[in-house]
């Protein structure tokens, strides 16, 4: 990418739709976007929680903050959500998908219903939503789609392969989408955080050692600004960690207990 | 440790807790155990950190209890508003500032932080959401200000900010060589300067030498301001590095350096109010043993007692880096358990040397007790129940306002014997 296109993109990045606006990482990303004066349309399930973050982001400098209370995992609501965005925020240029769930792996092993729920919230609903939004951006031949997957999606691990497989599927989906939208100038960014200190991970052992969501948010906002890289590992060391992990032969990997 | 991210989760936390098992926790900057709850639970309120509204005409901000003062500054200083009162660190939460009814260099004209809280919403385990203010549940309001987090969880509070022109302070440094010259300086400055405080070389005994800092918000707006980011103290130095000679030498050097730069200058708000914030993890300076803070107030009518306090410290040879002396104003206390009262307050830190240090503090307690003074709970880790009783004779009238599910290590330590 040339320097000129960096500059154009940076100044154009103004109107962001956040899908999953009350997630731990989204909260920090939104604050940074607000500080830059961005306009935001926030989608999340709880109207009370949206009502709490809206004035906060305005105080911190957001140009405009629209909200839409809806359950993003309910695919039957997707058309309505998308219609709302198109009507009230027609020239959005960035879509950031941030929601996800991490149930106890053991629950997914014991119950197919839990398993399907995990796949629905972390992959199926995300792919469905992004399909709607990408068609719109493709038609307008502009913009950027970014979604938070996980380093857990790079390799299936005993401890959380259900979550990992859903996030891995989302990474693959984004990879294909990136290729499809490349020719029309729409960028697709796959965000792969390592473990981050958010409500989603509080229950995990060693949670205190996880990354600060503020640092992760800074990396994400920089990527949205530059519309690059295609795949963002954050914190950065995870790029190297995962590249090492991916090279462990399967015969050894399957014996590892993490 | 509970970590609620939304106020709608607080009800459930309160409901499911056992009696006297919880304590709200913010940035943990209280020096002692008033922010701890040994063998019980804390509610980490730092994720409850949203600004819920701001009135640009009146300057009243409504924010959740976990919003930090540094956050308020970074959002509102560019709009021309500043904190009405600020303690020596900006890394505290609004909830913590209210719960300890913190004071700052402008106590003589602005009172405590609690005096600028217009109203607040309290989550209580026994009666749900309670709106408190001077006109509504005033008793609970006064109990919550300085209430050490024991009256419930502060959901949000309305804080009256103050108008300022910009981030600069017109500051002046005046060296002084005795307690009486400090008192003269204070008297002379309190009318003309919004902020006054003194650093004290506590090895000098009653011939207290020190540096008097005073300042006002500057009208300078053109000069470009950049917040300072200082060094990080990467590890704790070994205990032997800090002894009476090195600390004495530091104090002498500090005095000389500042005495040499006496006079007026334009300084950023951050270096004026928060010199220690610029050294991240400065608390490690005292090594693994850590340190104890000692902050007392000596009532105006017995101000001579401060000389006795200073003498005892000087004789002990256990002086500290940062002796801070400040003349409190006469504003009535905002809360039932507010610490500031008319008189002179002295704050010191002592590297922890076990019994020796505790014995010195006990000896200081005697003088404070005799003078009718008080100790500051936010800085305390060792005061006796009797000392607490003497400092806060009204504490029993505070008890009915305590949320039955709240308690703290501090509270159990100073009240359970009684």
Q: Counting beta carbons within 10 angstroms of the beta carbon of residue A86, is it exposed (0 to 12), middle (13 to 18) or buried (19 or more)?
A: middle
Between B3, B6, B50, which is nearest A56 by CB? B50
- Section B294-304 average pLDDT: 94
- Section A215-238 average pLDDT: 95
Write the CB contacts of B42 (distance below 8 Å, at least 6 apart in sequence). Answer: B1, B2, B22, B23, B24, B25, B36
Q: Say how far apart CA A217 and CA A221 lie, in whole Å.
A: 6
| Residue numbers of the domain that contains A180 | 3-253
**CB–CB contact A49 B3 (8 Å):** no
Please state, for a pLDDT cut of 90, what percent of chain A lies above it.
84
- The pTM (predicted TM-score) of the whole model is 0.92
Contact A142, A93 (CB under 8 A): yes
**In this complex, is the C-beta atom of B5 within 8 Å of any C-beta atom belonging to chain A?**
yes
Write the CB contacts of A211 (distance below 8 Å, at least 6 apart in sequence). Answer: A193, A194, A195, A196, A197, A234, A235
Dump pLDDT digits (tens) for A69-101: 999 999 999 999 999 999 999 999 999 999 999
The confidence band for B322, taking pLDDT boundaries of 50, 70 and 90, is: confident
In B218-361, which ranges are E strands?
Answer: 263-268, 291-299, 323-328, 343-351
Lowest mean pLDDT among B140-144, B282-286, B387-391: B282-286
* B234 has a pLDDT exceeding 70: no
**CB–CB contact A60 B3 (8 Å):** no
pLDDT, residue B208, reads 78
Q: Which residues in chain A have Cβ-Cβ distances shorter than 8 Å to B44?
A: none
B:388-417 residues touching chain A, CB 8 A cutoff: none
Residues constituting chain A: 258
* Nearest partner of B143 among B324, B416, B402, judged by Cα: B402
* A61 has a pLDDT exceeding 60: yes
Q: Is residue A144 domain-resident? A: yes
Q: Is residue A108 domain-resident? A: yes
Q: Which domain CATH number covers A105?
A: 3.40.50.720
Distance from the Cα of B198 to chain A's closest Cα (Å) equals: 35
**In this complex, is the C-beta atom of B3 within 8 Å of any C-beta atom belonging to chain A?**
yes
**CB–CB contact A24 B51 (8 Å):** no
Chain B interface disruption, residue of A34, A59, A67, A212, most B CBs within 10 A:
A59
* A2 has a pLDDT exceeding 50: no
Contact A223, A48 (CB under 8 A): no
User: What are the φ and ψ backbone dihedral angles of A46, each rounded to 5 degrees?
Assistant: -90, 115
A:21-40 residues touching chain B, CB 8 A cutoff: 22, 24, 27
Q: Which residues in chain B have Cβ-Cβ distances shorter than 8 Å to A48?
A: 6, 8
Chain B interface disruption, residue of A52, A53, A62, most B CBs within 10 A:
A52
Size of interface A-B (CB pairs under 8 A): 34
**CB–CB contact A60 B75 (8 Å):** yes
Q: Say how far apart CA A22 and CA A42 lie, in whole Å.
A: 9
Which two tokens mark B234? 């990467």
- Section A40-64 average pLDDT: 96
Strand-pair partners of B160 = B60
**CB–CB contact B51 A60 (8 Å):** yes
Q: Please state the domain count of chain A.
A: 1
Using the CB atoms, write b or e for B215-241: b if 16+ within 10 Å: bebbeeeeeeeebeeeeeeeebeeeee
pLDDT, residue B254, reads 81
**CB–CB contact A52 B75 (8 Å):** no
The confidence band for B315, taking pLDDT boundaries of 50, 70 and 90, is: confident
Strand-pair partners of A17 = A41, A95
Q: Is residue A122 domain-resident? A: yes
**Which 8-state DSSP code applies to residue B305?**
H
Dump pLDDT digits (tens) for A115-156: 999 999 999 999 999 999 999 999 999 999 999 999 999 999
**In this complex, is the C-beta atom of A208 within 8 Å of any C-beta atom belonging to chain B?**
no
Written as one string, the DSSP assignment of B180-238 is HHHHHHHHHHHTT-SEEEEEEETTSTTS-EEEEEEEEE----SS--------B--SPPP
Domains along chain B with CATH numbers: 7-164+394-415 (3.30.465.10), 168-390 (3.30.70.2520)
Higher pLDDT, A11 or B389: B389
Q: Which residues in chain B have Cβ-Cβ distances shorter than 8 Å to A46?
A: 6, 8
For residue A94, give the 3-state DSSP assignment: strand
Q: Is residue A258 domain-resident? A: no
Contact B126, B140 (CB under 8 A): no
**In this complex, is the C-beta atom of B68 within 8 Å of any C-beta atom belonging to chain A?**
no
pLDDT, residue A66, reads 98
Write the CB contacts of A110 (distance below 8 Å, at least 6 apart in sequence). Answer: none
Q: What is the residue-averaged pLDDT of chain A?
A: 92
Dump pLDDT digits (tens) for B188-212: 999 999 999 999 887 776 677 899 9
Q: Which residues in chain B have Cβ-Cβ distances shorter than 8 Å to A59?
A: 51, 53-54, 61, 75
pLDDT, residue B316, reads 86
Torsion A18-A21-A25-A27 (CA) sign:
positive
Give the chain A residue nearest B63 (alpha carbons): A56
Give the chain B residue nearest A31 (alpha carbons): B50
The confidence band for B364, taking pLDDT boundaries of 50, 70 and 90, is: very high
Please state, for a pLDDT cut of 70, what percent of chain A lies above it.
95
Give the chain B residue nearest A57 (alpha carbons): B51
pLDDT, residue B205, reads 66
- Section A224-241 average pLDDT: 94
Give the chain A residue nearest B75 (alpha carbons): A60
Kindly report the number of other CB atoms within 10 A of residue A163's CB atom.
26
**In this complex, is the C-beta atom of A109 within 8 Å of any C-beta atom belonging to chain B?**
no
* Nearest partner of B272 among B187, B166, B188, B172, judged by Cα: B172
Distance from the Cα of B351 to chain A's closest Cα (Å) equals: 28
Please state, for a pLDDT cut of 70, what percent of chain B lies above it.
95
Distance from the Cα of B72 to chain A's closest Cα (Å) equals: 10
Lowest mean pLDDT among A93-102, A206-215, B75-84: A206-215
Chain A interface disruption, residue of B9, B11, B47, most A CBs within 10 A:
B47
């Amino acid at each position: 990418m040339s320097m000129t296109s960096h500059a154009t993109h940076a100044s154009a990045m103004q109107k962001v739709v956040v899908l999953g606006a009350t997630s731990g990482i989204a909260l920090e990303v939104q604050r940074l976007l607000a500080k830059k004066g961005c306009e935001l349309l926030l989608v999340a399930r709880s109207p009370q929680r949206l009502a709490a973050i809206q004035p906060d982001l305005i105080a911190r400098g957001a140009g405009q903050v629209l909200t839409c209370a809806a359950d993003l995992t309910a695919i039957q609501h997707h058309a309505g959500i998308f219609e709302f965005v198109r009507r009230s925020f027609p020239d959005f240029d960035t879509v950031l998908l941030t929601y996800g769930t991490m149930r106890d792996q053991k629950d997914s092993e014991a119950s197919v219903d839990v398993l399907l729920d995990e796949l629905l919230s972390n992959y199926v609903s995300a792919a469905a939503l992004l399909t709607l939004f990408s068609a719109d951006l493709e038609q307008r031949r502009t913009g950027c789609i970014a979604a938070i997957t996980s380093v857990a999606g790079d390799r299936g691990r005993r401890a959380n392969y259900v979550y990992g497989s859903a996030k891995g599927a989302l990474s693959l989906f984004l990879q294909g989408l990136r290729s499809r939208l490349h020719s029309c100038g729409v960028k697709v960014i796959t965000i792969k955080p390592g473990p981050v200190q958010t409500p989603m991970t509080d229950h995990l052992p060693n949670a205190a050692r996880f990354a600060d969501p503020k640092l992760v948010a800074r990396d994400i906002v920089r990527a949205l600004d530059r519309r690059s890289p295609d795949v963002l590992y954050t914190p950065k060391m995870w790029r190297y960690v995962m590249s090492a992990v991916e090279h462990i032969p399967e015969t050894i990997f399957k014996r590892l207990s993490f | 440790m509970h970590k609620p991210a939304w106020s709608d989760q607080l009800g459930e936390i309160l409901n499911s807790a056992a009696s006297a098992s919880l304590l709200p926790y913010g940035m943990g900057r209280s020096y002692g155990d008033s922010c701890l709850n040994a063998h019980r639970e804390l509610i980490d309120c730092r994720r409850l950190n949203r600004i819920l509204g701001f009135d640009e005409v009146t300057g009243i901000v409504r924010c959740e209890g976990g919003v930090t003062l540094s956050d308020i500054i970074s959002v509102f200083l560019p709009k021309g508003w500043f904190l009405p009162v600020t303690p020596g660190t900006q890394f505290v939460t609004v909830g913590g500032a209210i719960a300890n009814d913190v004071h700052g260099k402008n106590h003589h004209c602005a009172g405590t932080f609690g005096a600028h809280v217009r109203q607040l919403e309290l989550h209580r385990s026994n009666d749900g959401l309670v709106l408190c203010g001077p006109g509504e549940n005033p008793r609970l309001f006064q109990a919550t200000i300085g209430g050490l987090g024991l009256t419930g969880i502060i959901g949000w509070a309305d804080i009256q900010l103050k108008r300022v022109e910009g981030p600069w302070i017109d500051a002046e440094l005046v060296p002084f060589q005795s307690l009486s010259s400090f008192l003269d300086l204070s008297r002379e400055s309190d009318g003309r300067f919004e902020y006054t405080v003194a650093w004290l070389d506590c090895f000098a005994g009653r011939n207290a030498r020190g540096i008097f800092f005073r300042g006002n918000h500057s009208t300078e707006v053109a000069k470009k301001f950049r917040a300072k980011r200082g060094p990080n103290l990467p590890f704790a130095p070994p205990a032997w590095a800090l002894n009476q000679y090195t600390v004495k030498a530091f104090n002498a050097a500090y005095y000389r350096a500042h005495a040499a730069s006496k006079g007026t200058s334009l300084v950023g708000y951050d270096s004026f109010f928060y010199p220690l914030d610029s050294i991240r993890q400065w608390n490690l300076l005292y090594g693994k043993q850590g340190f104890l803070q000692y902050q007392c107030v000596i009532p105006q009518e017995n101000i001579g007692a401060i000389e006795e306090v200073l003498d005892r410290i000087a004789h002990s040879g256990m002086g500290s880096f940062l002796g801070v002396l400040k003349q409190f104003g006469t504003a009535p206390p905002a809360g039932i358990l507010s610490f500031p009262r008319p008189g002179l307050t002295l704050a010191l830190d002592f590297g922890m040397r076990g019994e020796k240090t505790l014995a010195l503090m006990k000896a200081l307690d005697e003088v404070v007790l005799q003078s009718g003074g008080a100790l500051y709970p936010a800085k305390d880790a060792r005061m006796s129940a009797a000392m607490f009783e003497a400092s806060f004779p009204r504490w029993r009238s505070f008890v009915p306002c305590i949320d039955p599910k709240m308690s703290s290590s501090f509270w159990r330590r100073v009240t359970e014997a009684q």
